[in-house]
């Protein structure tokens, strides 16, 4: 299994499409939408087809064998 990269976000939540761009897993929103729509994105180990899915501290997202973990500020 590959290393999990931690992606720090500003707020307590980020949407799936935004995280894919922030983590440089996709070039743009169009690519993010295509990957999500085609069932190629896993959230916490399960395929999720909702681009607007809310992600919180500790959630993991996997695309093309790369996994990132959401790290939100405390509080």
Domain coordinates in residue numbering, the chain: 4-71
Q: What is the pTM of this model?
A: 0.92
Residue 2 has pLDDT above 70, yes or no: no
- Homologous superfamily (CATH) of 4-71 is RNA-binding S4 domain (3.10.290.10)
What are the beta bridge partners of residue 55? 14
pLDDT mean over 19-41: 96
| Radius of gyration, alpha carbons of the chain | 11
Indicate the range of 1-10, 22-31, 51-60 predicted with least confidence: 1-10
Q: How far is it, in rounded angstroms, from Cα 53 to Cα 50?
A: 5
Closest residue by Cα to residue 42 from 24, 22, 68, 3: 68
* Dihedral over alpha carbons 33, 34, 37, 42 (to 10 degrees): -80
Burial of residue 21, with CB atoms counted within 10 A of its CB: 0-12 exposed, 13-18 middle, 19 or more buried = middle
Q: pLDDT band at residue 26, thresholds of 50, 70 and 90?
A: very high
At 19 the pLDDT is 97
Q: What is the arithmetic mean of pLDDT over 25-30?
A: 95
Question: Which whole number is the average pLDDT over 35-43?
Answer: 97
């Amino acid at each position: 299994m590959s290393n999990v990269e931690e992606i720090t976000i500003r707020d307590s939540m980020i949407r799936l499409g935004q995280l894919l761009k922030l983590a440089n897993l996709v070039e743009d929103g169009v690519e993010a939408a295509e990957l999500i729509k085609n069932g190629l994105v896993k959230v916490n180990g399960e395929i999720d087809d909702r681009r607007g899915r809310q992600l919180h501290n500790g959630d993991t997202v996997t695309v093309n064998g790369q996994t990132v973990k959401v790290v939100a500020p405390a509080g």
